[in-house]
Structure 1
Amino acid sequence: MIGKFFYTPGSKKFNITPRFHDPDKEERDAREQRIKDELGIVDEKVDDGKPFRPNVRGQFRRSEGWQAKSSEKARRTSNTRLIVLILILTLVFYLFFYSDFTF
């Protein structure tokens, strides 16, 4: 028990291995690039020096709007059901306790 009182855990090791590492593909790509450089073949891909920037902003806004509309519709129907249920229960309560109506 006394040994646990002064126990300090050691630091945890961080080791990450790449998930999709294919050394054969890297060798093949390097070899193809070397051959293309020797033959003077230019890739069709033109690099203008600008970093790649995907157009994600508009896609998120569109999807949020779609979900907001469907959730708003679900909320509205839920509220309508609740109001109708309360009205029916109020009517039944009134007829049962305050009316001369007998079953």
Structure 2
Amino acid sequence: MKFTFIKTTRHRTFHHTPIYYDEAKEEREERARRIKDELGIEQEEDTRSTEDRIRGKMKRKIATHFDVARKEKRKSNLRLVVILIGLMIAFYYLFSSSKEWIMHFM
């Protein structure tokens, strides 16, 4: 029996088997698509592969993310401008009232 004071961890591996993947069905669909292309038969509207559809969805999601970020940046800038204008008005009021206060005692 071997005793160790410091245990080293083993590297973790990732094994994922898709649950709803049917390899035979994918091959049949690809073969049917190729045959239809060779014969010149019209296909259904969605002729893109699964990978292309996923890639398109990711592009739309990324573009949406940038739109949201742009809108948030505009809101932040507007909020900053409103705060700065409020501070300038408050300082102007304080300085103008302090001049009157100082003149009152002189």
TM-score under structure 2 normalisation? Answer: 0.48
Where is the helix percentage greater, Structure 1 or Structure 2?
Answer: 2
The answer to which structure, 1 or 2, has the higher relative contact order (CA under 8 A, 6+ apart) is 2
TM-score under structure 1 normalisation? Answer: 0.49
